[in-house]
Amino acid sequence: MNALAARFNAIFGADMAGPFAALAAVLIFFGFASPQFLTGATFGSVAFQLPELGILTLAMLLPILTGGLNLAITFTANIAGLTLAWTLQTNGGADAGPAAFLLGSVLALAVGGASGLVMGLVIAFTRAHPILVSLSMMIFLRGLGEFLTRGGDISGFPAFVSPIGHGSIFGIPVPLLILIACVIVCHILLSRSKLGFSTYMIGSNIESARYSGINTRKVLVLVYVLSGVMAAIAGIIMLARFNSVRVGHGESYLLITVLACFLGGINPFGGFGRVLPVFVALVVLQLLSSGLNLLGANQHLTTAVWGILLIVVMVLRWFSATFVKIVK
Amino acid sequence: MSTATDEGANARPLLSLRGINMTFGGVRALKNVSFEVMPGEVHCLAGENGSGKSTLIKVISGVYTPAAGAEIVFDGESIPHMTPGMAQARGIQIIWQDLALFPEMSVAENIAFQTLSGARPRPVNYATIRSVAEEALARLGVSLDVDRPLKDYAIAQRQIVAIARALVGEARVVFMDEPTASLTQSETDHLLAIVRNLSASGVAVVFVSHRLAEVLEISSRITVLRDGALVGVYPVEGMTQSKITELMTGRTFDQNTRARDVSGSSVVLSASNLSRPGEFSDISFDLHRGETLGITGLLGSGRTELALTLFGMRRPASGTVTLSGRPVRFASNREAIAAGVAYLSEDRLSLGLNQPQSIADNLVMASLNRILSGRLISTEKKRSLVSRWIADLGVKIGRQDDAISTLSGGNQQRVAIAKWLATDPKVLILDSPTVGVDVGARAGIFEIVARLAEAGLSIILISDEVPEVYFNADRVIHMEKGRIAGVYDPRASTLKDLEASVYA
């Protein structure tokens, strides 16, 4: 048993054990509870629902690793979506061409990056708390968005936009491909790049990082810019999936992204945690939601179950930590 | 307290401990230690840092509970389970090294603090507080304005406030942990006079110190601890400083300095008229290739501020720094590191190392560019860089991925040094490199320093332990209140001269 655990840790890392155990538990439970659960349909729906939440979670994960937080991710996604929507509308609306879409996407990413840039600069230079800074940004973006859209939907996009939200390539949903690409980029960035290394060092002790010659301000700014860009990608996918943009879309995801990070073993105070366990944790949350849906549970109950799950995980983690100590 | 039992009490120890064992996480901090204090005597508890002095005081004051089999007897009463409350009730008072005072509160409140604390809430009577405080200060023959906040007073006066507080609680025995560490000579003399008065009035005083001159001057007996074990109890009469040192360290002290003449080799770093208002002014010196330049001085002498300025983390207000003949003006410590200046922080816990992170990550933190392959960090280059330095500096580790906080102080410091050596520096500034390092491991650190200097690295060695710089540097700068007060050649002056001017 110990040898097996050691091999598992060597291949996946010790922090994968929890999420994998939860994955197995969910698959087994719903596999028995509902005959339709272990079918392609379930996984298809998960594959289409996962990406928005998944990419927003990556946007949340990066600042958390530095010991911060980005509460503005959902509204950054909305504003980025609006940017793309307007570019399409001013270039012919439903008749807009791919060039307009490309331009709009670039502008959307730039707007997302700008939102992160402002937060990053304020956090890095004034040392203001990230919760307050990103909360201010969130309120600003929400107010701005609601003012510009008068609280309504923007829709009427060219037909080729829809496949980005609903299409598949070789049977794999396009949004899932985008998510996987983002996961890989973030994974490599965090585990192999100087920026990633510095992110972890800053997260556990920013002063010692500064004394070691790490440009802590630059790293903080880049991390928030990246977080904003990730949020913008989520915004573009949301636009394609709903075929409309509305300020407030995806607002309920905000706290779920924080919880997904913790479920994936990210240290809430920064400095520790990896992308892959978070990815598995996201799959677990989404499977849980689909499974409960199949059993006919109310959607609000699903949210409640997510909450219970996270509390159980915290308690289990405490148990396992205590148990390990006793064994040692 | 004067009763008929006083007659026989002089023969019986006031406090006696036997068979004290204490273990922290597998390390035995105290090994079968016994300790005795007679009523009214001035006793010295001597030992190097890490020898178990503070742990023993914490056992006596009830902060730590020793392992089974311990025997604590106070004034004839056996106390199997001492608690802080019980120790206080019996008149065992501790003046900790950090004094444990409240700077924002008034002198009176600080002194009468213990009379204020109690299980039941009750109104504070400021008149009582003032009279209690004034009475305690009068007993010491000191007058302070008891209404002023404590922070208005210097460290020497705060020390007196701490003593006064101890006296309020009907003290029978007062422990003073390194009371003179930050005092000047005249302040120390005053403190010693107070200690004599206390002793004359029947209060036993246990002086915990490694300043040997004071020990000889004031104590009647001395208990020496080394590595958590009792070396012995000796009468001070007939003791010499070198004898005590020998007892404390367990070896005849190597009295040879390592100083060499390096004035012939090229100048690597040169500071001229460096100033930063409020921190240091008019600092000029040359650092030669392969030289170890010591800088010593009391707290507030500006030594760390100077080091941080050389390291580019602060900008000098005036004056110039030249590195290898070229004037430099660093905008950040990144530029300093790139130019070949490295700085080992005095605060290893929060600035020098990133405690929760791994040994490997800490070691490569300042030299990431050296382990890149393309734009990404090469795991292989990282491992081999870490292995090379771990082997080179003889760091004892389990796995490279273990958190650095799992290592001992000495091994952590070696990793911290390795971190800077990996940046390939020309100048290495070591700020108090033996803080929190066990006695046994200190020699190892200085052997590394000597080896690096021999290999041509220029080192600035900062320490407030005068002997450290005296025995390990080629030249010693004495800084006082931000100025260079003197430059000493260890081959031409004695340790005593240097200590006399530093502690004057």
Q: Which domains does chain B have, with CATH numbers?
A: 104-169 (no CATH), 267-502 (3.40.50.300)
Query: What is the rounded distance in angstroms from the CA atom of residue A208 to the CA atom of residue B353?
Result: 6
- The DSSP output letter for B238 is T
A328 pLDDT higher than 50: no
Domain ranges in chain A are: 40-251+266-274
% of chain B surpassing 90 pLDDT: 44
Who has greater pLDDT, B250 or A95?
Answer: A95
Who has greater pLDDT, B307 or B164?
Answer: B307
% of chain B surpassing 70 pLDDT: 92
Measured between CA atoms, how close is A202 to chain B, in angstroms? Answer: 9
Give the nearest chain A residue to B335 (CA atoms): A213
Measured between CA atoms, how close is A13 to chain B, in angstroms? Answer: 12
Q: Is the dihedral of CA A127, A130, A131, A132 positive or negative?
A: positive
Name the band, by pLDDT with cuts 50, 70 and 90, for residue B367.
Answer: very high
B210 pLDDT higher than 70: no
pLDDT of A34: 82
* Subunit contact A193:B332, Cβ cutoff 8 A: no
Give the nearest chain A residue to B370 (CA atoms): A194
Q: Which residues of chain A from 159 to 218 reach within 8 Å of chain B, CB to CB? A: 188, 192-194, 197-198, 200-201, 204-205, 207-215
pLDDT of B8: 43
B125 pLDDT higher than 90: no
Q: Are strands B267-276 and B280-288 parallel, antiparallel or unpaired?
A: antiparallel
Of B43-47, B107-111, B121-125, B147-151, the range with the lowest mean pLDDT is B121-125
Query: What is the rounded distance in angstroms from the CA atom of residue A213 to the CA atom of residue B330?
Result: 12
B95 pLDDT higher than 90: no
Give the nearest chain B residue to A199 (CA atoms): B365
Q: Are B43 and B233 in contact (CB under 8 A)?
A: no
DSSP A247-311: TTTTTTHHHHHHHHHHHTT--TTSS---HHHHHHHHHHHHHHHHHHHHTT--HHHHHHHHHHHHH
Encoded tokens for A1: 């048993």
CB of B357 less than 8 A from some CB of A: yes
pTM metric for this prediction: 0.78
- Cα B223 to chain centroid, rounded: 20
Residue A127, CA distances (Å) to A65, A130, A208, A232, B353 in order: 16, 8, 16, 25, 21
CB within 8 Å of B384: residues ≥ 6 apart: none
pLDDT of B118: 62
Measured between CA atoms, how close is A281 to chain B, in angstroms? Answer: 24
Average pLDDT over residues B291-297: 94
Q: Are A235 and A79 in contact (CB under 8 A)?
A: yes
Name the band, by pLDDT with cuts 50, 70 and 90, for residue B274.
Answer: very high
Burial class (CB in 10 A: 0-12, 13-18, 19+), B329: exposed
Query: What is the rounded distance in angstroms from the CA atom of residue B84 to the CA atom of residue B89?
Result: 9
CB of B420 less than 8 A from some CB of A: no
* Subunit contact A213:B337, Cβ cutoff 8 A: yes
CB of A273 less than 8 A from some CB of B: no
Give the nearest chain A residue to B363 (CA atoms): A212
pLDDT of B38: 93
Q: Where are the alpha helices (DSSP H) in A40-97?
A: 40-65, 73-90
Encoded tokens for A218: 């630059």
**3-class DSSP state for residue A197?**
helix
Nearest to A193 among B337, B369, B376 (CB): B376
Q: Is the dihedral of CA B391, B395, B396, B397 positive or negative?
A: negative
Chain A CB contacts of B355 under 8 Å are: 204-205, 208
B289-311: b or e for each residue (b if 16 or more CB lie within 10 Å)?
bbbbbbbbbbeebbbbbbbbbbb
Query: What is the rounded distance in angstroms from the CA atom of residue B183 to the CA atom of residue B300?
Result: 12
Which of A208, A216, A267, A274 to mutate: most B Cβ within 10 Å? A208
Q: Are B93 and B166 in contact (CB under 8 A)?
A: yes
Please count the residues of chain B.
504
Q: Are B333 and B310 in contact (CB under 8 A)?
A: no
Query: What is the rounded distance in angstroms from the CA atom of residue B136 to the CA atom of residue B113?
Result: 12
pLDDT, tens digit, 9 for 90 and up, residues A86-109: 999 998 878 888 899 999 999 999
Which of A212, A267, A269, A272 to mutate: most B Cβ within 10 Å? A212
B166 pLDDT higher than 70: yes
A327 pLDDT higher than 80: no
% of chain A surpassing 90 pLDDT: 54
In this prediction, does ipTM exceed 0.90? no
pLDDT, tens digit, 9 for 90 and up, residues B43-87: 999 887 678 888 899 899 888 888 888 899 998 889 888 888 888
* Subunit contact A188:B376, Cβ cutoff 8 A: yes
Query: What is the rounded distance in angstroms from the CA atom of residue B185 to the CA atom of residue B496?
Result: 14
* Subunit contact B345:A209, Cβ cutoff 8 A: no
Which of B261, B249, B317, B316 is closest to B290 using CA atoms? B261
A325 pLDDT higher than 70: no
How does the average pLDDT of chain B come out, rounded?
86
